[in-house]
Amino acid sequence: MDKTRIEELRSRAVPPARHLIDGTSRDASDGATLDVISPIDGSTLTTIPKGTREDAQLAIRSARRAFDDGRWSDVAPAARKKIMLKWADLVEAEADELAVLGVRDNGTEIGMAYKAEPLSAAGTIRYFAEAIDKIYGEIAPTAPGALGLIHKQPVGVVGAIVPWNFPLMIGSWKLGPALAAGCTVVLKPAETASLTLIRLAELALEAGLPPGVLSVVTGEGIVVGAEIAESQDVDALVFTGSGATGRRLLEASARSNLKRVYLELGGKSPNIVFADAPDLAEAAKVSAAGIFRNSGQVCVAGSRLLVQREIHDKFVDLLVANAEAMQVGDPLDPRTQAGAVNSENQLAQNLQFVEEARTAGRTINTGGTRILHDTGGTYMAPTVITGVNPDDRVVCQEVFGPVLTVQVFDTEEEAVALANATEFGLAAGVWTSNLSRAHRMISKIKAGVVHVNTYGGADITVPLGGVKQSGNGHDKSLHAFDKYLDLKTAWIKL
């Protein structure tokens, strides 16, 4: 997408958004709205409905009816597949508009957003559409005179709550397998990134998805999200976001119908560089991108750098040079490498982490400040902090901003201990030329994904999920179906 096209789309007015419930666009039941503030320049982009519990209940009831009457779950897999493939085509055809709208809403740089948002969403929907008619039940090996059949059936109504950093990508990770399995879905986007998901659902209707199968209700998590989590008519809940919210969702499940809850939560991912890394310059470049792209607002961001002592100073110098060379600014400028922080609240939180480290005597090698004040937007310089202690808050807790801490290690065993010294276990990286060491590290690091001599690369064919307090269950790959399918045994005497 060239700059002329981007500027043309940037100049378009964005009409007030509305819920999409039971195939119909609706305002909030009490007419209340929330302003959508663009992190690019602080301007009010449009409004979204400030959803009420009644709005969420209406969407849940429509999803329950749609599931129970079989308008989607009883449709032949090949027919569901046809609709979903058409949906993917519509998303791909509107990729320019979706990418720019999303950037105006959440601040991700356009170079990343175009691929990671609409194109990724289209590919994900297409992947799960193609899988629909390839998911089989089983025949059990039984004694003579009996037949054991294992059926796979859709779980029912799914509540999906997704974050603001990659709404289309992460949203499609939930919607693709849930809808392919035959479930119905009530989707609650983040307050600061709802616009593209509303449009995604509208395109699903255009493709032929029956009304009620997918509804989108916007608003505050403490209202709309809470109603979805507490509903007796929601059979499964899928969520990507903070650990604190994840705990509340588990509590809501316990208070209501014990709905299954799948959580992809925070990360504090270690990125480990051994002295025998094959190319230190490449490792520094990729490591910088692995934390600073999208201003650090990536679940799997390599936010804890562990460097072997003999190369520590050299590697930090390389890393700082990459950080300072990174172009931070207008996310709709194709040259930008790191866009805006999502909101004023998020930026304030990021800066507080840095200030605490500074006060504790840690070294801020570069960054640590708000920049581009004259734009009106929320921008932060890529930040590298050395001399940290393992129990520093900036080391232990997820910042979700462009803030990287650096720790020193001597031995492989020490690297493993430091890598695992966190409550999280989402992702990790290892840089080494020693194949045996790479396999040992993969085995010993407690994380859902371990990158070797790269960081951040993984496509839809492999699962993404965390261990420890990074969550449970998996998005992506055929394993994602496990969340949306029930197993039912039929035992037949012959």
Which positions are catalytic? 264
Q: How far apart are the first and last CA of the chain?
A: 63
What Rg do the C-alpha atoms of the chain give, in angstroms? 23
Q: What is the dihedral of CA 299, 301, 304, 308, to 10 degrees?
A: 140
CB-CB neighbours of 148 under 10 Å: 14
The helices-and-strands tally (H runs, E runs) of the chain is: 16, 21
As beta bridge partners, residue 404 has 384
Nearest to 471 by CA among 156, 175, 250, 225: 250
Distance CA 429, CA 455 (A): 6
Whether residue 235 contacts residue 157, with contact meaning beta carbons closer than 8 Å, is answered with yes
Q: Which helix (H) or strand (E) holds 214?
A: strand 214-216
As beta bridge partners, residue 160 has 187, 238
Distance CA 98, CA 190 (A): 16
Whether residue 100 contacts residue 9, with contact meaning beta carbons closer than 8 Å, is answered with yes
